[in-house]
A and B are shown apart, each in its own frame.
Chain A
Amino acid sequence: ETYNLGRAALPAEMKAWTVEVFPDGKNLPEGSGSVEDGENLFADKCAACHGDFAEGVDNWPKLAGGADTLARKDPVKTVGSYFPYLSTVWDYAHRSMPFGDAQTMTVDETYAIVAYILYSNDLVDDDFVLSKENFLDVKMPNADGFIVDDRPETEYPLFSKAACMSDCKKDVHITMKATVLNVTPDQGGDDSAAADTAVDAPADTVVASAASEGASEEAMAQDAPAAAEEQASAAPAATEETLAADPALVAAGEKVFKKCKACHQVGEKAKNRVGPVLNGLIGRQAGTVDGFKYSKSMKQHGEDGLVWNEETVQAYLADPKGYIPKNKMSFAGLKKADDVKAVLAYIESQGG
């Protein structure tokens, strides 16, 4: 029984959306790209999060390294050490990257960036050119590293026996406490538990760890959470409101700022992250925040007299790559003047 609902999908529509690439190369478009081109593209589009050498910045995913670490404690899972298929890398890069500006890379750019990622994993030489033709020739080190879920054989029989109800064990003693690590977020309010733990355990047992994206595996490993000061820096900074700020505009700006805060921090505890801190933005010469590694282009614009004010920020955010070619900011921009106005009001209210 059918309901005769919907309409036929048109060929152009199916072509636009059917872009996933399969392990056997199905759907891979014609094209090619070199390691050399990939290096420049990677620096431009990827390095802000993944590092110049694909080594990963902060908690963003590492794409290179980790060879032969899968069987040891805290394995490092990268394209080179973990991904079983190259198609996965091409597919994800082309479809979902750069973060915040997805689906903007051409086919050849994608080949080049994937070639560079292979190079950064020592899987190809520096003169390598990746193309549709040689795509399947690339050997992925962990290609044979996966088995299909075997819980039905290895676990279910073991765990499907009648459960013990009494005298199941002789000795019960604590083998590990969460308070030793002291990484539970502060929950505010009158909840005493979180506050107590801070007294119990100095946070000296933990070290910051660059971990992979998402519900990060490395951060989940028990010895890997970030240091206490890292946590503090992630908390929103409490700052004084600027007297003149229009609260409605600031509130609107806070919403717009969500698009910025993946890379930029502002406020009392702000640190340079993927992008420079935005404190003192208005009136600042471009490319001059201490400790931030700017592109040559951004520095040059500053030295040539570019100072950030509403007008210049507006022009920059309307077309980041057009206004300052080859700058590092991988962001599509804010097209609406009202959004820029609001976000600047917010930045100023936070100490910017």
Chain B
Amino acid sequence: QPDPLITEVQSWAQGWGDGVDATPYGLPIEFESDVIRRNVGWLTADVISSINFTPIHALDGTITPTGCAFERHHSGAIELKKEDYRLMINGLVDKPLVFTYEDLERFPRENRTYFLECAANSGMEWAGAQLNGAQFTQGMIHNMQYSGIPLRTLLEEAGITNLGDQIKDKWVYVEGADASSNGRSIPLEKALDDCLVAIKANGEALRKEHGYPVRLVVPGWEGNMWVKWLRRIEVTDEAVQSREETSKYTDTLADGTSRKWTWVMDAKSVVTSPSPQMPIKHGKGPLVITGMAWSGRGAITKVDVSIDGGANWQEARLAEPGVDKAMSRFYLDIDWDGSEMFLQSRATDATGYVQPTKDALRAIRGENSVYHNNGIQTWWVKENGESENVEVSS
């Protein structure tokens, strides 16, 4: 039968579409309205201090569209004008300084792409499969291109030469302008290495929910340290041991002791499609298996995919060479025979570290650890093309 979409003149081929002034700043077309951040209501007491999830299942490429990049705030996303913005650098510096936003724009800046992953990403999956969808299991992540000033530049402007060899023992304490302030201590060595004071993300001003007008970028380290609405950087002798670095974001082991300062996000990957929110609708034949991989310790060098629950693996194709502490996209193009699959992906990074199974992590950390779960995810893809989040024997 001839396709009427071809043989008949359609309304869109006849009349006008929108004029150029219809949407001065665009949103996705209405047909994509399900590609949105989602919240898991029972996770937190209130949306003001909560988290939502990037719809990673429906995205491709590596750059996360800013409008659906996950949010986490501790006291709500505040509105802070550039005119009202101040950044103070004080503590063990030669001359404590205050910068305006305009001052920051006058420092030489860099463009760098980095992933930001919440330490709690996949936390709900630690003790077992729980949420059905890549968005909910691995969606506390985004990957953006930041334009910003190296933190080193600002610290040198305030003067740290007096510290000499003591740099290794010093810290910076960073805090935000919101009511939570979300203060965190970061070793000065990391601050001088690759941290950025970002004023743009993906080419545009930071979104309110991502810390407008200025946020800290702490490449490869847990998202909580990427302080939003950054207002102060203090060079200190010791860690502050703030709420977010003692009572939260610490990892309790089986014997009841807890790891602290677990900043680095280890290598991890997930198949984003097919997945529970992305059923296969076309039946057997050519199938694109895709997903993303990242490591806080370097570039992704290799991703393997298994369709039989980890018994056998094939090397997937990286869409582009891996980038240091940024997300990689991988593809495995197969001819699906229509039988059930246990889909897994496994990332390897530049250090040679290979993403472990959840069982392997639990064997070391016990069942109460929650944060920093970088274990392998399994999707049970059924013959009808629908998927479920499961765990399989190791």
Contacts and interface: CB of A to CB of B under 8 A. Distances in A.
Interface string A64-108: 000000110111010100111101100110011001101100000
A199 interface: no
A244 interface: no
Given A172-B393, A184-B133, A189-B34, A222 B128 contact: yes
B339 interface: no
Given A184-B131, A193-B387, A234-B42, A171 B393 contact: yes
Which secondary structure dominates chain B's binding surface? loop
A21 to B, nearest CB: 8
Given A73-B368, A82-B247, A14 B96 contact: yes
Contacts of A178: 129-132, 276, 388-390
B157 interface: yes
Contact of B127 (A2, A161, A221): A221
Contact of B313 (A163, A222, A234): A163
A79 to B, nearest CB: 8
A138 interface: no
Contact of A177 (B159, B175, B388): B388
Contacts of B262: 149, 151
Given A161-B354, A215-B51, A215-B72, A149 B124 contact: no
A149 B48 contact: no
A121 B330 CA distance: 51
Interface stretch (A5-13, A294-302, A309-317): A5-13
Contact of B41 (A1, A214, A231): A231
Contacts of A230: 41-42
Contacts of B133: 184, 187, 193-194
Contact of A160 (B100, B259, B353, B389): B353
Contacts of B123: 215, 217, 220
A5 B252 contact: no
B132 A214 contact: no
Contacts of B157: 2-3, 5-6
Contacts of B48: 99-100, 258, 262
B118 interface: yes
A134 interface: no
Interface in B118-152: 118, 120, 123-124, 126-133, 136, 140
A74 B368 contact: yes
A146 B130 contact: no
A226 B266 CA distance: 30
B131 A7 contact: no
Nearest to B94: A2
Among B91, B106, B248, B342, which residue has the most Cβ atoms of chain A within 10 A? B248
Contacts of A21: 240
B360 interface: yes
B368 to A, nearest CB: 6
B75 interface: yes
Interface in A159-205: 159-161, 163-179, 181, 183-185, 187-189, 191-194, 196-197
Contact of B130 (A8, A163, A225, A235): A225
Among A82, A92, A95, A159, which residue has the most Cβ atoms of chain B within 10 A? A159
Contacts of A58: 45
Nearest to B313: A165
A160 B352 contact: yes
Contacts of A183: 40, 42, 130-131
A20 interface: yes
Contact of A214 (B49, B159, B242, B346): B49
Given A7-B98, A85-B246, A171-B393, A163 B354 contact: yes
Contacts of A226: 41-42
B231 A17 contact: yes
Contact of A192 (B96, B263, B279, B393): B279
A215 B43 contact: yes
B259 to A, nearest CB: 5
Interface stretch (B11-19, B179-187, B189-197): B179-187
A17 B90 CA distance: 10
B323 interface: no
A223 B157 CA distance: 51
Contacts of B389: 177-179
Among B43, B47, B118, which residue has the most Cβ atoms of chain A within 10 A? B43
A7 B44 contact: no
Interface in B362-393: 364, 367-368, 370, 380, 386-393
B391 A150 contact: no
Contacts of B351: 156, 160
Nearest to A210: B45
Contacts of B304: 163, 165
A174 B45 CA distance: 33
A280 interface: no
B368 A169 contact: no
B75 A102 contact: yes
22 contacts: A20-B175, A59-B42, A84-B246, A88-B241, A92-B243, A102-B75, A102-B180, A150-B259, A151-B259, A151-B262, A155-B361, A159-B360, A170-B311, A178-B388, A179-B388, A181-B130, A183-B130, A193-B387, A216-B43, A221-B127, A234-B42, A262-B46
Given A20-B183, A178-B389, A221-B370, 18 more contacts: A18-B232, A58-B45, A70-B257, A84-B241, A103-B179, A147-B257, A147-B258, A149-B261, A168-B310, A168-B311, A172-B311, A173-B393, A178-B131, A189-B33, A193-B279, A194-B132, A220-B124, A221-B126
Interface of B: 33-34, 38-51, 72, 74-76, 88-91, 95-100, 103, 106-107, 118, 120, 123-124, 126-133, 136, 140, 156-157, 159, 173, 175, 179-181, 183, 231-232, 234, 236, 238, 240-243, 246-248, 250, 252, 254-264, 266, 276-277, 279, 304, 308-313, 342, 346, 348, 351-356, 360-361, 364, 367-368, 370, 380, 386-394
Interface of A: 1-3, 5-9, 13-14, 17-18, 20-24, 49, 58-60, 70-71, 73-75, 77, 79, 82-85, 87-88, 91-92, 95-96, 99-100, 102-103, 145-151, 154-156, 158-161, 163-179, 181, 183-185, 187-189, 191-194, 196-197, 211, 213-217, 219-223, 225-226, 230-231, 234-235, 258, 261-262
